[in-house]
Each structure stands twice: as structure tokens, then as C-alpha cells.
Structure 1
Amino acid sequence: MKRVVVGITGASGAIYAKRVVELLTEAGVHVHVAASGLGRRLLHDELGMESFDANALSGGRGHLVTLYPSNDMGATIASGSFLHDGMIVVPCSSNTMAAISSGVTSTLVHRVASVTLKERRRLVIAHRETPLSHIDILNMQRLSEAGAVIVPLAPGFYMMPKTISDLVDFMAGRLLDLIGVPHTLNTRWDPQALKDSPEGD
């Protein structure tokens, strides 16, 4: 069974985190979730989650989700000996991105991201804040040089999205692609399909 770590932080975009966890568990992946204090507040403020709940986060597949307190620096996932198939930080705030790029590990999300880099596993940073300061750009550069993949949460429109869910699925699908988890979302660029559709004319 694949194991993927998901870090949730305080940048707006809780809907992305929830959808990623849903899709991972749909694919039979065991998801290990660490959320910062502001990440948990985000889930409440944007999705109405009254508690940090595995079933609510995964669409009812809580048996495939393990949750960790943000201050549990001794958690299993904080060790390099914990084998996993990649980590996605979604949404990733500029503050979290800065901490990871500096090697600062004051929360479990920071710690697991740092360990993921040192163990040369896939780390995907799904950054949402905009505009970017020069400091943000430098932090992105440092993380990219360290092996992370930087993914601004900026959905494309060539699939002719009709709903917010379409936009969310576009990015969620891209994030799953980057850690090698299959999905059936319609997120692939297909010029012929667009040409054949009425909207593509």
C-alpha cells in the first residue's frame, strides 16, 4: 500500500487539502496528515469542520487516514526511518515555505518536510499566496535546488471548467500526478478533444 504524507497549513485553500486527501484514499493510499494550528483553523473557517476528523477530511474513508497533532515532534512520520511515497504540503503558506527552506522545524509539518528532503523523497509544495515577495521567490529557489517541486495553486482553464470543483480537481489531479498516484480526473491536455468540443471552437 502506498503511503503519502499531507501537510496542511494556514494559507487559504482548505478545499484543495480535502480534495487531495479524498482522491488519495479513493486510490487506496494510506494518508498521514499533519496540520499546523492555523491549518486546523483553516479547515474550520473554510470548510466548517468542527474537529480535525479523518472521516470528514477523506469523504468517509477515515480508516485510511492517520492524523497527527502539529506539536508531536516525536510522531512516527517525523523520522527518516518512516518510509513513504512522498509528501504534499497543501495549501502551503509563505511562512511554512520559509521555515522549510531555512531548515527550521518548529511544527510537525516543518519537520516531516525537512526529513522528506534529506531522505531524497518527493516533496511537493503547493503554494497558494499571491503576490510573491522577493523573499518568497528566493525560498522557492532554495527549495527547488534542494529537490522539492514547487506547485503554485493556479488552475488552468483549457478544460473549460464550469464549477469551482472543476478548478479544484485540476490542481488536485496535478498534485497526485507528481507523486505517482493514478486518478481518473479530466486534467490532461488534449488539443483534439478541445477542438472537437463546441466550447473549443
Structure 2
Amino acid sequence: MLLKVQRSSAFLQNFPEIQPLAVYNRKRFFLMEILQMNTLKAGVRAPEFRLQNQADEPVSLSQFLGKKVLVYFYPKALTPGCTTQACGLRDSKSELDELNVIVLGISPDLPKKLAQFAEKKALNFTLLSDPEHQVAESFGVWGEKKFMGRTYDGIHRISFLVDENGVIEQVFDKFKTGEHHQMIVDYIRGKNG
């Protein structure tokens, strides 16, 4: 028996070109899981979102139209790798400002934890809370992970440079956390070069 896939699915709504008309009943959730970990590529419009920041205020991607936006996903605030990555971006803030780039860090952490992270590490950019991982799913960065022999679902450390028109210009998915900030700056300087 065939079932229609619900168009209300947050992920599939943003991408009508990949919405299947029907899937087998027993395969539906399997198909959805595969689609959700299909990381967005350069040239695709970035999904609009509205999330709470570290001050518990709403922030949306569309409010930054006209500027480049680095949307970077990280697993958990105040952990070693995420702290290294965030501090690198903090230390590169003047260069990123000069290149007209806004930084938005997204994790499943609640605003209170993000506020602690920002204060403890003197972070000078916006952190956003995605506790239900809907935005992570829409960008295709939520999926199965393995760590110390354990398998679980979580955020994959991937960054998206969104251009002034809201289109993904570049995807960064292979980097060391301590080199992430310089890779972003070098890429943009090379494009503007």
C-alpha cells in the first residue's frame, strides 16, 4: 500500500523538487531519515529560520539579507572542540566584519546555556538555540553520529556561507576546529581577491 508523504514536513516543505509523491508504508521513515541527512549544497537557497539567541531574543536569517552570513552548526556549547571553533571565530571578528560577514552559531543548547558560553568565552557574535533541531534538519546537518562506540543522533559540524541574496555560496564540512575561522576568511578573501 502507498502513502502520500505529508507536505507539512518541515524539511520537505523547503525543497519541493525532492518531495516524493509516494513511498511504501514500511519505508517512509527510512526515506525521511535519508533525506534529513542530505546536507544542503552550494547554489541552493538557505532555509529561512527564526530562533532565540543567547539573550532569548528572536533572530531570523532574513534580517541579514544584503550581507554574507556564516551559519555554523556545532554540537554542544562549552565542549572542547566547540569552544576552540567559537574562539577562533571570536578572534577573527574584525576580519569578518571587514569582509561584511555576520556569524550565527547554531546548536541544540537552550538560550541560558548559550548565554553562559558567550559570557565565559567572551564571544562577540550571535549564538542561536535549536533545541528541537528543526533548523539543523532543514540544512541537513542532523543525523546519526558515533562517538566512543556509542551511536546517537546529533549535529554534524558543518558551516554554510550564505550570500547577500540568501543563497548558499559555500559549504565547509571538512576542517579541524582550530582552523575553521581561517578557512572561512581565506575563502572569502580569495573570492574577493
TM-score tier, shorter chain, comes to 0.3 to 0.5
TM-score (norm 1): 0.34
The structure where helix makes up a greater share of residues is: 1
The structure where strand makes up a greater share of residues is: 2
TM-score (norm 2): 0.35
